[in-house]
Structure 1
């Protein structure tokens, strides 16, 4: 029996999932009886934990989503599984940064380097520190608890990506790729919301490397629904992929829009169902 809490994925039994709501005893019994339970991307951490304790098989697999939230959590996950990523320093707060570097000086990354707040999307909360003055301005912004409630952030070596990054979307056992290309040489962020455009048919050799990297990471972590952003250092002749971020909630334009995305999710659920 397939139980679905997803509004657009039909199962043998279909239920709705309210934001922050608890599950009823009847719903818990259905989870225990189901061979496969499907949940939406916007499920909350406490809801997912409840499902994990009761379900035989759960899609998506978010064991390594909750507990590793934000860009800070991404780095913890990359380190845990020895994945390739840009050289990074992680901080619990601006105060932690100041305490560490009062003793050690500025991060050993060297200017320019990228500073990323823990939360935010579309390039929000991502800054380029070119010198000490810019770094101090960035730290003042990150210290604003109203705008940056977790207070955590990372500093990451600037990768000369040539105005492109590769997004690899995993849905079940399938991988979908596209490049985000930034035409503005003054803008280091390759987000579509920052003026980047999508291209699919570029650098097939780098796409192959990127997919291989993400596939290996997913095999180790169980992640089966997420968008990975990868950087390539274009200063060398044969760049290797570096994992930049994992997005469990992501835009769907690059995979053909919402209808196409849902079709891919349905296909992934069908493939899982065939293994039961």
Structure 2
């Protein structure tokens, strides 16, 4: 019996857990299930209950809940030994001394531990601006969203590589920001999609992502990579730098939501046949 909590993918039993905690009825269905399909908005409590009672659960969200947020992404990259920009992690603004801000080699990037589509991501060019951003993250902390990171600013010629993992399928494309006054490469911030540029670099990015997924079990995510450009990136321009893992990700580069769901259904079907 297949139990599906995904609103688009049918199972023998279909349930929704949005806006509520899983209950004893959920537990009983999960105990009886041969396989469980979860939504992208799956809570930690539902995921834990599913993997406790059923041997086959899609997606594999171990890494998502073991390494939460953007701070968790960096910790995962460090644990798996994959290249990423130099980064300092702070669970609280109280742990960031004035001397650290003064010692930075600007420009750098400040990122909140939460948010997506470029929210809470700021290029910072001076100590004074860093203090201003620190006050912003203090306010976020008071609102219940603690943690931030400070990262080297890697020159990229205005683009990054999005690698989407859906089951065993891996799709890549560039997100290109043609407006030099805009720092972010998100399509929501005006970037365009380039599916065909630099195929060798795209293949290298997919290779590194495939390695990370094989080691962590990640099978549904959009992973962002940078390739350094110019003199600053001469020694490592052929090696991607892992930026972050998005368990919620835009679908424009895949052709829209309908195309995404078609890929997802196909990969879930393949996964079910495999078990």
Partner of 2:9: 9
In the alignment, structure 1 segments of 5+ residues that lack a partner are none
CA spacing shift, 1:250–1:107, aligned 2, 3 Å? farther
In the TM superposition, residue 147 of structure 1 has moved relative to its aligned partner by: 7.5
CA gap 1:150/1:107 in 2 versus in 1, 3 angstroms: farther
Residues 42 and 107 of structure 1, relative CA distance in 2, 3 Å threshold: farther
- In the aligned structure 1, how far is the partner of 2:219 from the partner of 2:46? 18
Match of 1:177 in 2: 172
Q: Find the residue that maps to 2:210 and give its secondary structure.
A: helix
Deviation at 1:92, TM superposition (A): 1.2
Determine the C-alpha separation between the residues in 2 that align with 1:231 and 1:150.
26
How many Å apart are 1:15 and its aligned residue?
2.0
Distance in 1, Cα, partners of 2:252 & 2:142? 27
Relative to structure 1, is the Cα distance of residues 147 and 201 closer, same or farther in structure 2, using a 3 angstrom cutoff? farther
More helix by share: 2
- State the partner residue of 1:268: 267
Q: Match of 1:78? A: 77
The runs of 5 or more residues in structure 2 that have no matched partner are none
The TM-score with structure 1 as length reference comes to 0.93
- Residue deviations 1:4-44, cap 9 Å, x none? 1111101222222232232233x323222222110101011
Answer whether contact 1:230 1:241 (CA < 8 A) is retained. yes
Matches of residues 147-186 of structure 1 in structure 2 within 5 Å? 149-186=144-181
TM-score by length of 2: 0.93
The alignment status of 1:187 with 2:186, answered yes or no, reads no
Q: Which residue of 1 aligns with 2:210?
A: 215
Partner of residue 139 from structure 1, selected from 123, 127, 134: 134
Q: 1:202 to 1:147 in 2, by over 3 A?
A: farther
Partners in 2 of 1:107 and 1:267 — Cα distance? Answer: 51
Give how far 1:214 is off. 0.5
**Matches of 1:208 and 1:114, distance apart in 2:** 27
C-alpha contact 2:31 2:53 (8 A) present in aligned 1: yes
Matched, 1:233 2:232: no
Shift of 1:182: 0.4
SS in structure 2 at match of 1:207: helix
Aligned to 1:255: 254
Shift of the 105–39 alpha-carbon distance from structure 1 to 2, 3 Å rule, reads: closer
Name the CA shift for 1:140/1:18 in 2 (closer, same or farther; >3 Å).
closer
1:65 partner SS: helix
Query: 2:18, 2:134 → 1: CA distance?
Result: 37
**Aligned to 1:273, what secondary structure does the other structure show?**
helix
CA drift of 1:146 comes to 6.3
> Separation in 2 of the partners of 1:194 and 1:30?
42
Deviation at 1:218, TM superposition (A): 0.4
- 1:226 is paired with a residue whose SS is strand
**Local SS of the residue matching 2:66:** coil
Contact 2:141-2:147 at 8 Å conserved across structures? no
User: What's the CA shift string for 1:124-161, capped at 9, x where partnerless?
Assistant: 11111111121111112111136763320001111101
